[in-house]
């Protein structure tokens, strides 16, 4: 019968192999640098002639460059906080109260939502950061499933905000 590796030794060896593969792959692989959009537009203009020298938004099939939000970011964060607060009673009843009944401490649960809205104010992405000191995984799992996408007034451009949120 052969000698078996302990779990920590296997993890250490696996990590060393992955680190070596990443190091060697990055060392010998091509640099993954995105081309500068202005340089690409200039090169296209030189190759395509006068028709391509129009601004990108005026070219056929081109999309307009992203605009700055017409609403200040702090106002967008306030609107997002109000949208989250509208769901608070349902979340407290569905997620928080059963968890507190089973385990009373910690009483407060703190989060930070990272929400990205499109130009029309619809949520297109959402992340959740849970405070380690007040962590309640059962509440977090319930919250993720119970909270529908939130909407705000149209900001005029895609924008990402961080919104503090706590329960109860």
Angstrom CA distances, 17 to 6, 11, 22, 66, 143, stand at 17, 10, 9, 42, 38
- In DSSP terms, which residues pair with 106 in a beta bridge? none
Name the residue ranges covered by the structural domains of the chain. Answer: 1-64, 73-167
Along the 168 residues of the chain, how does pLDDT read in single tens digits?
A: 557 778 888 888 888 888 877 777 666 555 544 445 444 444 444 444 444 444 444 545 555 555 665 678 899 999 999 999 999 999 999 999 999 999 888 889 999 999 999 999 999 999 999 998 888 899 999 999 999 999 999 998 999 999 999 988
Q: Check: CB of residue 81 under 8 Å from CB of residue 165.
A: yes
Question: What's this model's pTM, rounded to 2 decimal places?
Answer: 0.57
Q: Check: CB of residue 155 under 8 Å from CB of residue 161.
A: no
Give the pLDDT score at 8.
Answer: 83
Helix (H, G, I), strand (E, B) or coil at 24: helix
């Amino acid at each position: 019968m052969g000698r078996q590796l302990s779990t920590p030794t296997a993890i250490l060896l696996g990590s060393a192999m992955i680190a070596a593969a990443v190091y060697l792959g990055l060392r010998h692989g091509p640099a993954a640098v995105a081309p500068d959009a202005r340089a690409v537009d200039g090169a296209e203009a030189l190759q395509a002639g006068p028709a391509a020298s129009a601004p990108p938004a005026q070219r056929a099939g081109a999309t307009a460059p992203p605009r700055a939000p017409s609403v200040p970011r702090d106002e967008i964060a306030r609107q997002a906080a109000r949208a989250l607060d509208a769901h608070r009673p349902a979340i407290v009843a569905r997620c928080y109260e059963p968890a507190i009944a089973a385990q009373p401490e910690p009483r407060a649960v703190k989060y930070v939502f990272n929400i990205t809205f499109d130009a029309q104010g619809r949520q297109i992405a959402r992340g959740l950061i849970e405070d380690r000191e007040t962590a309640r995984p059962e509440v977090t799992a319930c919250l993720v499933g119970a909270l529908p996408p939130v909407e705000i007034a149209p900001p005029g451009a895609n924008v990402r905000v961080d919104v503090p949120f706590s329960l109860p």
